[in-house]
Amino acid sequence: MSFSEIIGQERPVRILQSSLKKGDVSHAYLFYGPEGIGKRLTALNFAKAMNCLSLDDNSCGECIHCKKFDNENFPDFSVVEPADGNIKIEIIRELQRKISFRPYEGKFKVIFIDGAEEMTLGAANSFLKTLEEPPGATVFILVCHNFNLLLPTIVSRCQKIQFNLIPVKTIKNILIKEKQITPEDAHLMASYSQGRLGKALEMGIRDIIKMRNEILNLMQSASFDEMDLIFKKNKVWSSDKGKKNIEIILASILNIVRDMAVLKGTRNEKLIVNLDVKDQLISLIRVSNINQLIFLFYSIEETIRHFKKNINAQLLLDTLMIKMCSVFEK
């Protein structure tokens, strides 16, 4: 595990390697950006490189510190993660006890807080006091999806490093190599991942196609007379068992509507993602106009934003399906 394994995040890696090389490591970092794009992997690599005995801007993987880190028994590295949905004050107090001691073996004691935005208010205020008077030779790496959910006073005391979505073409090439799939399937999976390599590697092409076809069937039969059946489907999708697929469901709807808008506006088949179901898309755009499709596209994007804020998933899907019926009902 080294910085070379991090794909599509050249700028964050360059900033971190430069600080290591100059010996100018900050006492606290905040890595932020969408999930599944490499923040956690970068944080782990940075923590490892900070205490490598051989290299000054990366990890060698061979020294005793690197080997202990890889075996998850390096004594000067701690991970804090949400438990039962949040990070409680008791966890922060235990962390404060740990950092009251100097590093045991390494140059730095590194504290990795994953899901930092999940700190309770009490935990956040307690952690703020630590940031205000940081102990020597201790580095905090906070990782979050949205730093606006953190206390502004915590954010202001960290060096912020933004991680961006990865280009579809980059993800496509990686999928072809890693999963040994066709360029067509790789392009479909990369498009549905919405720029998140981690999500793309988790996805199965069969799951994507199955979900997409279910959405297409719903669109083709969209009717306010069938709302009971649609709401039942939404209930299944938003259940604890089905909730893990909601992002794929919303990505499916978004990509399908995007393709319909492109076909309606340009008639250029080369620009669409779901080329293998082109005929079904064409049949759907016959009962809609470009303004309706654009309205639906923005409604889906709004639904995705609300879902990320943990708003009731079934309510979001029900509202979206009502809008979809208004567009596609024959």
pLDDT at residue 192, rounded to an integer: 85
Q: How confident is the model at residue 238 (pLDDT cuts 50, 70, 90)?
A: confident
Q: Tens of pLDDT along 289-322?
A: 899 999 999 998 888 888 877 778 888 888 988 8
The average pLDDT across 123-140 equals 92
Which string of DSSP letters, residue by residue, matches 5-23? Answer: G--S-HHHHHHHHHHHHHT
Q: Do domains 3-162 and 204-328 have the same CATH topology?
A: no
pLDDT on residue 33: 92
pTM value? 0.79
Q: Which residue has the tokens 């966890």?
A: 91
pLDDT tens string 75-120: 999 999 998 888 999 999 999 988 888 889 989 999 999 999 999 9
Domain segments of the chain: what residues?
3-162, 204-328
CATH class (in words) of the domain with range 204-328? mainly alpha
Query: How high is the mean pLDDT of the chain?
Result: 88
Crossing angle for the helix pair 205-220 and 246-266, to the nearest 10 degrees: 60
CATH number at 3-162: 3.40.50.300
DSSP string, 245-299: GHHHHHHHHHHHHHHHHHHHHH--GGG-S-GGGHHHHHHHHTT--HHHHHHHHHH
Helix (H) or strand (E) run with residue 301 in it? helix 290-308
**Biggest alpha carbon–alpha carbon distance for the chain:** 70
How far is the C-alpha of 69 from the C-alpha of 1, rounded, in Å?
10
Write the CB contacts of 19 (distance below 8 Å, at least 6 apart in sequence).
25, 26
